[in-house]
Amino acid sequence: MSREARRVALMTSRFADGLAVGSDLVEAARNAVGQALSRLSGQADLVCFFICGDDPDDVARAGQAAMELAPGAHVIGCSATGVIGDGQGVELTPAVSAWAGTLDGARLTTFALETLAAEDKFVVVGLPERSADDHVAILLADPYTFPTDAFVERSVDVLGELPLIGGLANGLQGRGSVRLFADGRVYTEGAIGVLLSGPVQVSTVVSQGCRPIGPSMVVTASEDNLLLELAGQPALARLEDIVSELDEDDRELVAAGLQIGVAMDEYAERHERGDFLIRGVIGIDPEREAVAIGDIVEIGRTVRFQVRDAATADEDLYDLLDAHREQLGKVDGALLFSCNGRGSAMFGTADHDPVALRDTLGPIGVAGFFAAGEVGPVAGHNHVHGFTASVLVFSSTAGAP
């Protein structure tokens, strides 16, 4: 479908997106949000926007302008190093993408989170009160000032089984350049988001884009983030045996960045692609014959080494989206939080992930940004990911997040 045909299809949509590229960020914000609002068939209830710009002050002004355009809607947004909208991605270039949705009676609660020191720990304040009909919370966080990993991993303690979806914001100048926006206010730290409740059909897709190598193995000895033994043998020896049996192409993938998957269902008879929470292998300890990974894995958990490349990531995303569409029926819109290590760095084009959504889900309203880390549930538990595409899907039929 051509881009013009897609615009026509979106004219009567419950969800729509917009994109504007240009150094005048205020004008770009007005254009992008205006496009999204004009393509809706009804009044917007939720507007999300994402801004890539060189000057944090310009980003803040653009965000304020965006929030003023939809006074009757809840509005959230953030700065980023790249944005997604109108079926394409734009990286490291001044641009604004926007997304608007008509949610037909859903209850929306925006929130802003901050951390306070309490004795020997930090406490997150600002969480919305939970209700029985809550479905999902979108979370946009400043990775430099908010403990996103710890908060997300322990979210079940305060939020129960509520799925979290979103990403870590950033700015082209790094620390200090992140800007977050929620219902008329600009934040320079913390996290913001919106809780979706009531009559709204949403579900999540998290594509980690990895392929297993070697067998699944039980962790039989570990210490902090060091795997000492796998299936009763030194972890490094196990890894060396696996690599020795790979072909040359897969050895190159191992050298470029080895991953490890932690099985989410210990009782499954087999553990294949998609059954794991992916974490990076960050080093080895030859003296202890250990493998260091980017997480703490307890003794008794099942793990399997993984590799990632463009072909595997492409196949994984398309397969997950195809299966999701078949399960849900009609899909109306989506928000896309794609790792800034995907796009042109992985696929040679910034358009890969939004095109994949368009190819599989149809001419729906899709917008998002390239994140410094992606938030999404795997096997019912919330996690922060890397090199992942996290998608919030809005449908006309019921789907389980």
Structural contact between residues 262 and 293, judged by C-beta atoms closer than 8 angstroms:
no
pLDDT at 266 over 90: no
> Residue 350 class from Cβ within 10 Å (0-12 exposed, 13-18 middle, 19+ buried)?
buried
Kindly report, residue by residue over 112-149, the tens digit of the pLDDT.
Answer: 999 987 777 788 999 999 999 999 999 999 999 999 99
Whole-angstrom Cα distance, residue 326 to residue 142? 35
Q: What is the pLDDT of residues 58-91, one digit of tens each?
A: 999 999 999 999 989 999 999 999 999 999 999 9
Q: Is the pLDDT of residue 311 over 80?
A: yes
Categorize the per-residue pLDDT at 268 as very low, low, confident or very high, splitting at 50, 70 and 90: low
Kindly state the helix (H) or strand (E) to which residue 281 belongs, with its residue range. Answer: strand 276-285
What is the arithmetic mean of pLDDT over 294-318?
A: 93
Tokens 């965000």 correspond to what residue? 63
Q: Where are the domains positioned within the chain?
A: 3-207+313-395, 211-308
Continuous H helices in 160-301: 235-244, 248-257
- Percentage of the chain with pLDDT > 90? 84
How confident is the model at residue 337, as a pLDDT? 98
User: What's the pLDDT at 269?
Assistant: 56
Structure tokens at 176: 């200090």
The answer to whether residue 379 scores a pLDDT higher than 90 is no
Q: H or E element: which one contains 16? A: strand 15-21
More confident residue, 107 or 119: 107
The pLDDT value given to residue 401: 45
Alpha helix ranges (H) inside 140-234:
148-153, 156-159
User: How much is the pLDDT for 168?
Assistant: 98
pLDDT tens digit string along 318-363?
A: 999 998 888 887 899 999 999 999 999 999 999 999 999 999 999 9
Q: Is the pLDDT of residue 1 over 60?
A: no
| Structural contact between residues 113 and 191, judged by C-beta atoms closer than 8 angstroms | yes
- How many Å apart are CA 312 and CA 309, to the nearest integer? 5
Gap between the Cα atoms of 246 and 90, Å rounded: 36
User: How many C-beta atoms surround the C-beta of residue 27 within 10 A?
Assistant: 14
What's the pLDDT at 3?
53
Per-residue pLDDT, 213? 93
Query: Is residue 397 predicted with pLDDT exceeding 70?
Result: no
pLDDT at residue 2 tops 60: no
Rounded Cα distance between 208 and 262, Å, is: 12
Q: Is the pLDDT of residue 400 over 70?
A: no
How far apart are alpha carbons 299 and 25 in whole angstroms? 51
